[in-house]
Amino acid sequence: MEFPSRQDAAPRKTTPKTLNLSNIMKVSPKQEQPGEQQQQTETQPRAENPFTPQQLQAAWDTFAEQRKKYQAEYQMLLQPFDLQGNRAIVYLLNPVQETMLENMRAELVTHLRETLQNYSILVVGEMREMEQKTMRYTPRDKFEYLVDKNPNLKELKDRLGLDPDF
């Protein structure tokens, strides 16, 4: 097997192409691209059809059914919400629900806006404090709680000579 000698091979040009500066100064007419048409239509005002709370609830329930496979999100979407103007306020019970709402807010708002043909709808999450219930473990704690509700129990305990710790 013989290799061709260097003299037989065609010489290669290794000079880089130069930029023609005269073409840079020429201005060509701007051609409209398809993306620019979409931007122009997006700047036009969108429909803001009025809707009733029942229509919002129906659209909300439809979205909740789509999220049924995500049990935690589904349960959060089943909670009642308030409508103030064009804002749907979801009352959250813990920070985990706040994170879940943030993750699905864009999809929810898009669904509501398209379903109701109103593009000013907003979904807002608001944390609600839950009452802290103190657990009464000992018999004395339970008895004192009941005495607070009905003071006659203390008199009954004294008359009968009962011990609440027993």
Nearest to 63 by CA among 114, 98, 97: 114
Q: What is the pLDDT of residue 148?
A: 92
CATH 3.20.20.10 correct for 53-127: no
Tokens 């840079």 locate to 24
Identify whether the C-beta of residue 103 lies closer than 8 Å to the C-beta of residue 138: no
Q: Where are the domains of the chain?
A: 53-127, 133-166
Q: What is the pLDDT of residue 127?
A: 83
Across all residues in the chain, what is the average pLDDT? 78
Tokens 């010489």 locate to 11
Identify whether the C-beta of residue 129 lies closer than 8 Å to the C-beta of residue 154: no
Q: Model confidence over 115-148: pLDDT tens digits?
A: 888 888 888 888 877 666 778 888 888 899 999 9
User: For 29, phi and psi rounded to 5 degrees?
Assistant: -65, 140
**C-alpha torsion angle, residues 7, 9, 13, 14 (rounded to 10):** -90
Identify whether the C-beta of residue 68 lies closer than 8 Å to the C-beta of residue 103: no
> Which of 20-24, 26-30, 39-43, 113-117 bottoms out in mean pLDDT, i.e. has the lowest?
39-43
Q: Model confidence over 139-152: pLDDT tens digits?
A: 888 899 999 999 99
Span 9-22, mean pLDDT? Answer: 62
Cα angle, residue 54 at apex, residues 52 and 56 outer, rounded to 5°: 75
Distance separating the N- and C-terminal Cα atoms of the chain = 107
Rounded to an integer, what distance in angstroms lies between the CA atom of residue 144 and that of residue 166? Answer: 14
Q: What is the pLDDT of residue 151?
A: 92
Q: What is the pLDDT of residue 40?
A: 46
Question: Quick check: pTM over 0.85?
Answer: no
Q: Model confidence over 46-97: pLDDT tens digits?
A: 667 788 888 888 988 898 898 888 888 888 888 888 888 888 888 888 888 8
Question: What's at 49, amino acid-wise?
Answer: N
